[in-house]
Amino acid sequence: MALDEKLWQRCADFHGHVCGGLAIGYQAARYAAALMGADFSRDEELVCVAENDACGIDAIQVLLGCSVGKGNLLFHMRGKQAFSFYDRRGGKSFRLVFNDLPEGTAGTMEYVLSHAPEELFTVKEARPMPQPAKLFRSYHCACCGEKTGEKWIRLVDGEYRCLDCMEEYDRFHV
């Protein structure tokens, strides 16, 4: 899978510069699209669960249409260059884990862009598919007055409180 200069430039324009992390995301996105037989996700057809919030995420957004706002880009923060992909239409899923660079490799970006994705990633089984995004009823916080989704509101002494207005309660860390 040769470098597509036009796609690479779109990723670089969106991200703001070129770097090794962007190259990893670019190759992960292209590999995922090839393995799934999918392209840009207009809605939630394709889902990505990223285990980092680094530069490569921008390439995944640009090339695959996964975004936080649509609910099809989720973060399971583990500090790994690993990405799980799910196709809601066909049920296909897998996890791509970036392999270590060979000892003495100079220039991550150049190395990543000059190698086939199959050489860069190990394909593993993905965790179960995440649920589709949900809409939640909102309530006004009794302290700050801001509307907050019911998943993130607490009932305290008969009043709704957002998480920011909650007093911490921890009997072990005084």
Identify whether residues 21 and 85 lie together within a single domain: yes
| Residue 105, helix vs strand vs coil | coil
Q: Which domain holds residue 173?
A: 135-174
Q: Which residue has the tokens 């392209």?
A: 39
pLDDT at 116: 96
Is 129 inside a domain boundary?
no
Structure token digits, residue 110? 């150049």
Q: Is-contact 32 64, C-beta < 8 A?
A: yes
Query: 52 or 44, which is more confident?
Result: 52
| Residue 20, helix vs strand vs coil | helix
Instruction: Work out how many domains the chain is built from and give that number.
Output: 2
pTM: 0.85
Identify whether residues 162 and 111 lie together within a single domain: no
Give the pLDDT confidence of 137-148 residue by residue, as tens digits.
Answer: 999 999 999 999
pLDDT reading at 174 higher than 80:
no
Is 94 inside a domain boundary?
yes
The CATH number for 160's domain is 3.30.60
Identify whether residues 41 and 120 lie together within a single domain: yes
89/62 Cα distance (integer angstroms):
21
